[in-house]
Amino acid sequence: MVNIKVSLCILILLAPAIASALRCGSSLVLKGDRKIEVVKVCGEPEFIETWEEETVTHITGEHDEIREDLIIGRETTIGKSNLVRLEEWTYNFGATRFIQYLTFVNGRLKKIEDGPKGTDRDILSGYTKSRCGHLVEKGNRKIEVIVKCGDPYSMEYHWEEQFSEVSSARRTRKIPQFYKQGNTYKKDYRFIRERVYEQTRTLINIEEWTYNFGPRRFLYFIEFNNGEVVKIEDGDYGF
C-alpha cells in the first residue's frame, strides 16, 4: 500500500500542472483573457500552434404525429455543426521558471499548463546533440525538442483533415402538443424516436523538422501534429 501511494505521488509530481493564472512581471493573465491582453502582459510567445476542430451532429427522428384525428408517421433529419479555432502559445521565460503552454479557444484563454524547466537559448548549443534522437520522446512539444537538439536544419509543413469514428445513440423524447377534435382543442403527446450521429473533424498542422549534424551522424526527422511529437526517424548520414 505504501509503495502504491508513493508511486501515485511521483506520478502527480511528474504530471503537468494546470493553473488558473500566469504571472508575467507584476501582472497576471487569467482564463478568459483575450490574446491581445496576454501579449500586453507577457509579450509575444516563442511558438504558436493553430488548428481547428469541427463537431458535426446529425439527428434523424422517426415520430408519430396526431393531426386532425389522423396518425401521421414522419422522419426528419437535422444537421448542426460546431467549429472552434484553437491556438497553443509557448512561453519560455528562462532556466529559472517552467515553460508555459497557453491554450486559446476562439480567441479566449482556456488553459494554462506548466511544462518542463525552461532554458536560455544562448546555451542550447552546449547540449550533446549526438543523442538528440534518443532524447526526444513522443508528446514533446517544440520548445522541448529545441532544448534537446537545438534549432532544426529545415522545416516542412502541410495540413491534413482527420475524422473521428462516427458515434451513434438512440433516444426517445415525449413532446406535448395540442390537436383539434370537433370544435375544441385537446392536449396529447407525441413520441419522437431519434438516432444521433456525431463525428469530429480536426484540421491538423503536420510539421517535419530535419536535423543535420554532419557526415558522421545520422539525419533525424521529427514529425509534429499540432506542435506535439508523433514520430522520430533516423535517416542516412548527414553532410
DSSP of 146-184: HHHH-S-SEEEEEEEEEEPPPEEEEEEEEEEEEEEETTE
Residue 5 lies in a domain: no
Any idea of the CA torsion for 28, 34, 39, 42, to the nearest 10 degrees? 20
The model's pLDDT over 91-106, given as tens digits with 9 standing for 90+, comes to 999 888 999 999 999 9
Whether residue 79 lies inside any domain: the answer is yes
Q: What is the pTM of this model?
A: 0.67
Domain presence at residue 8: no
Residue type, 133: G
Range of weakest confidence among 56-70, 103-117, 122-136, 183-197: 56-70
3-state secondary structure 68-105: CCEEEEEEEEEEEEEEEEEEEEEECCCCCCEEEEEEEE
Res. 196 pLDDT band, cuts 50 70 90: confident
Confidence check: pLDDT of 44 > 70: yes
Residue 204 domain-assigned (yes or no): yes
Q: What backbone torsions phi and psi does residue 130 show, to the nearest 5 degrees?
A: -65, -20
In terms of residue numbers, what domain contains 176? 17-237
pLDDT for residue 62 is more than 70? no
Q: Is residue 166 part of a domain?
A: yes
Q: What is the pLDDT of residue 207?
A: 94
Asked if residue 97 belongs to a domain, the reply is yes
Mean pLDDT of 49-66: 73
State pLDDT tens for residues 27-43. 899 999 999 999 999 99
Q: How many domains does the chain have?
A: 1
